[in-house]
Chains A and B, each alone.
Chain A
Amino acid sequence: MIPAAFEYHRPADIRGALSILVEHGDDARVLAGGHSLIPMMKLRMADVPHLIDLQDISSLKGITIEGGRITIGAMTTQHELITNDALHAAAPLLREAALQIADPQVRYMGTIGGNVANGDPGNDMPGLMQCLDATFTLEGPNGTRTVQARDFYEAAYTTDRDDAEILTHISLDATTAGYAYEKQKRKIGDYATAACAVLITKENGVVTSASVAMTNLSDVPVFSEAAAEALIGGTCDTAAVKAAVAAALADIDPTEDNRGPVKFKMHVAGVIIARAIERAWSRA
């Protein structure tokens, strides 16, 4: 419950935040909503001599939708994602998923950037971002670069982000595809036992494009190209869903924990993936 002492910094812009990150290297961490980092600090599992609070950096906030492209500032909270009607119209998958993350209080504080940058395979947004083929913008001392969500995750708590970089924005194409985020969890606020994000586009009764990604079923989020391929060109009938589920299950590698043994997780994943595909298809 009692975090170790640290120096608190509250820069007014990205440049200020980056200079503190560069100065203190490994000893500095950025603070967004604080709802993963502070719990870890309270358990002394995270050692953070310098904490850089990003709350005053206005360029990290807000949602813009222009020409079919959505840009979301990293400090945008889950609550803001849920309550933004324009965002809901442009990419309804986000609200559906955000409502399954944590609880009201946590959603007022927790940010999309913190969720995707955390690197905990339990977080829901990473798989979602892979499903949506989102792009992450990272700003560091040497400038700005972008990384696809599908290339960002390397292992549990290890991402492509360099220690001196800050994830500033997330961008993605607006999509009217049929969508679903299906999540099995033990209770409100729990990380998924298994979860799956699906987007399906239908033309003349046939799947013309599909995207399938899974949460907490490996040490990273899993985008399953094979599952999408099993759906494209078909009519999403029982055989196609079964083939897609089999393909998706072949791509995951769950580990045993108190949510259940591997065999159980494979079973739950199969049920959840099928449900997500069926609901996305029903909305396509």
Chain B
Amino acid sequence: MTKQILKMTVNGQTEEVLVEPRELLVYVLREKIGMKGPHVGCETSHCGACTVEINGKSVKSCTMFAVQAQGAEITTIEGLGTPDALHVLQTNFKEHHGLQCGFCTPGMITRAHRLLQENPNPTEKEVRFGIAGNICRCTGYQNIVKAILSAAAEINASKEAAQ
């Protein structure tokens, strides 16, 4: 089937790859662009391990063909922080033990990142509902919720300090 040149911005870098229409975005991100943070945990669009941010939306990249993302701005976990300068969500997941095997973590943090932009002061209930599209097998969620609430408080405190 007709291949096409796909151009998109991934973590601020322009990427150009040749893709078949049937290639799922998560596959192109992992295998062709080298962003292996987004994971594949299911084939039924439930688990959210493949979550990335596309044009300001949290999207399960296993349920989107890469060609649909033509021209899109994509952020994966690799774009949120670096090992030397972790994103505040990353430091809080570490601090509060919000991960164990780490397989859901890239999707979880990418989703949490979007959630906090839309709702900077979520309640515990809103955090749980807001990450309901992300399944974790290890943590029991409790520490993920703590990490996100703590990150929110930290972001808000630094915003206040800046004002």
> Which A residues are within 8 Å of any B CB, using their own CB?
1-8, 10, 31, 34-35, 38-39, 42-43, 51, 53, 55, 79, 102-106, 108-109, 188-189
Contact = CB atoms under 8 A, between A and B. Distances in A.
A62 to B, nearest CB: 17
A188 B24 CA distance: 24
Interface residues of B, number: 31
Interface in B103-153: 111, 115, 130-133
Contacts of A35: 45, 63
B108 to A, nearest CB: 12
Given A5-B21, A35-B63, A105 B4 contact: no
Interface stretch (B10-18, B53-61, B82-90): B53-61
B60 A51 contact: no
B58 A104 contact: yes
Given A5-B22, A79-B57, A189 B64 contact: no
A1 B2 contact: no
18 contacts: A1-B40, A1-B43, A2-B22, A3-B24, A5-B21, A6-B22, A7-B21, A8-B1, A8-B2, A8-B65, A38-B63, A39-B43, A39-B63, A79-B57, A104-B58, A104-B131, A106-B133, A109-B59
B22 A3 contact: yes
A170 to B, nearest CB: 22
Given A2-B22, A3-B22, A6-B1, 12 more contacts: A1-B24, A7-B2, A8-B21, A8-B65, A8-B67, A38-B45, A53-B68, A103-B133, A104-B132, A105-B133, A106-B60, A188-B132
A104 B46 CA distance: 11
A38 B45 CA distance: 9
Contacts of A188: 132-133
Given A5-B21, A7-B1, A8-B4, A189 B111 contact: no
Contacts of A102: 133
A101 to B, nearest CB: 11
Interface in B20-64: 20-22, 24, 40, 43-46, 48, 51, 57-60, 62-64
Contacts of B4: 8
B115 A104 contact: yes
A51 B132 contact: no
A109 B63 CA distance: 9
